[in-house]
Structure 1
Amino acid sequence: MEEPVLLAISETVAVSRLRSILESSGYAVHSADHLSQAIILFQQVNFVMIIVDSNLSGMHDFDFVRRIHKSEHRIPVMVLGHDGSLEAAAALEAGANDYISEQIDERELLARVNNLLFLFNYGKERKNQKIELRDLRIEPLSRQVFREDQPIELTQREYDLLLYLSKRANQVCSREEILSHVWDYDFHTGTNVVDVYILHLREKVDKGRKWKMIRTVRGAGYMLKTADST
């Protein structure tokens, strides 16, 4: 099956050239010449890569790149640029993974595309590896959680919180860090939502078991503890 790539590019000449190169290498190419059209396609198709023109009609300050970067779908983004290093820096700061010029030749373009896809696929494989800590097992691909091989039913937010703690096992996680990474809050809002969800997790993960994994570090935050040593 051909892997779909989106060309969010307004210039027809550039679209025609890149389409020819990518289709000759087995990719299924979709194109959009305006931001609104690109957003619709992004929502409808599971692209493996998106190439965005820095001059895409309707795009301002790489807002489309930021939108892709912040979405739950981790997709490599390559920016087709026109103005050199300052623009390249702005594109990368917005979340782009690579920056290419209009003059890029076919061999280099395909090498960059294939390299990004390899890195992202490797990252996905690592992301989906099982996490096993003592008798706790988390399977990211299916979002299933087990303790002593017994399934634990968690809400989406409870799962996200447990996954965050598990990836930082035996490390103190402050409330601010948890709010930022699990709830995507950029500052401490005064909410006790973290404490509430920690209680939920303790009820489901630790209750009735001798080893309590979810610990409070007084004055600092929380920790998923796997060993007796400190």
Structure 2
Amino acid sequence: MSSSAASSTSPSSPAGVIDVLVVDDDAAILSSLSRALRLEGYDPRLAAGGLAALEAVKQQPPALVILDVGMPDVDGVAVTRRLRADGFDMPICILSARDEITDRVAGLEAGADDYVVKPFALEELLARMSALLRRAGHTADSASEVLQVADLRLDPARREVSRDGVEIELTRREFELLHTLMTHADRVLSRAQLLELVWGYDFAADGNVVDVFVGYLRRKTEEGGRPRLIHTKRGVGFMLAER
């Protein structure tokens, strides 16, 4: 397999089959993951580098991207950052041999939804993929109850957020964070709890991922001088409440 181009792709996935883009410059890993995912009922497409991945997503956005970090043309973190900058909102799962907390945080801050360290068990990757797809709405068990705190309204089924009737545009990760805070309104959630509930991690990150995204939400929900609803409990975490 060429290291500079994506493999040929079908124009669309069969009905009910989830389209997954697998990106790695190692042909053996691509082949192995492709076989395993097909056996699990997925429809994998393959890209053998960062540039090929960007082109493949533009041609046909997949439901999920599995993305290696260490690629010679454009690394996985840069690919993630560019996809998010271009408005692509599908879940991205990074694969990496780097196990440092700083590496994980860098991937998450770039916009990745999960970070799996090599070598990994296939069962673990499949479980993480299932969780990402479920959170992205590819299963029917997601909560659909409309939430409201003060004049802030969130509709999970429509993926819409508004304040005092004015629509607020959020990225998928911002939406998930706000949904979590509103679901637990009037309760303080620690950074570790938010990291696990929203990002799916249970390690103690030493970065400021949660703080950064809380900042994004505050700017958007407080635009026009609206009162603050997301409050900081110093040394503990964050709480969404009307005051």
Please give the root-mean-square deviation of Cα atoms over the aligned residues, in Å: 4.3
Distance 1:142 1:88, change over 3 A: closer
Q: Unmatched 5+ residue regions in structure 2? A: 1-15, 170-174, 183-214, 228-241
Aligned to 1:7: 22
1:166-187 deviations in Å (ceiling 9; x for gaps): x999xxxxxx9789438xxxxx
SS in 1 for 2:109: helix
Is there any run of 5+ residues in structure 1 with no aligned partner, and where?
146-151, 153-157, 170-175, 183-193, 196-220, 224-228
Cα distance, 1:131 vs. partner? 6.3
Residue 160 of structure 1 aligns with an amino acid whose one-letter code is I
Deviations 1:73-92 (A, max 9, x none): 43221111023224333222
TM-score, normalised relative to structure 1 = 0.56
User: Highest Rg: 1 or 2?
Assistant: 1
Deviations 1:58-115 (A, max 9, x none): 2247121123345544322111102322433322232222222332122222112112
Aligned residue-pair number: 173
1:87 aligns with 2:91: no
Deviation string 1:131-166 (CA, Å, 9 cap, x unpaired) is: 6799xx9878397x9xxxxxx9xxxxx6337xx9xx
1:8–1:31: 8 Å Cα contact kept in structure 2?
yes
Tell me: CA distance 1:222–1:99, structure 2 relative to 1, closer, same or farther (3 Å).
closer
Alignment correspondent of 1:46: 61
The yes-or-no answer on 1:106 pairing with 2:122 is yes
Q: Does the alignment pair 1:118 with 2:134?
A: yes
> Corresponding residue for 2:39?
24
1:81 touches 1:88 (CA, 8 Å); kept in 2? no
1:1-230 mapped onto 2 (5 Å cutoff): 1-60=16-75, 62-70=77-85, 72-85=87-100, 86-121=102-137, 125=142, 130=146, 141=158, 159-160=167-168, 180-181=219-220, 221-222=225-226
Q: Give the match's secondary structure for 1:62.
A: helix
Q: 1:178 to 1:4 in 2, by over 3 A?
A: closer
- Normalising by the residue count of structure 2, what TM-score does the alignment of the two structures yield? 0.53
Aligned to 2:116, what secondary structure does the other structure show? strand
Q: In 2, distance between residues paired with 1:21 and 1:67?
A: 28
Could you say if the C-alpha distance between residues 139 and 100 of structure 1 is closer, same or farther in structure 2, counting changes exceeding 3 Å? closer
Residue in 2 that maps onto 1:210: none
Greater per-residue helix proportion? 1
1:8-35: CA deviations, max 9, x gaps?
2111011111111111111111111122
- The answer to whether the Cα contact below 8 Å between 1:33 and 1:57 also exists between their aligned partners in 2 is no
Q: Matches of 2:62 and 2:96 in 1, distance apart?
A: 21
Aligned residues: percent identity? 21
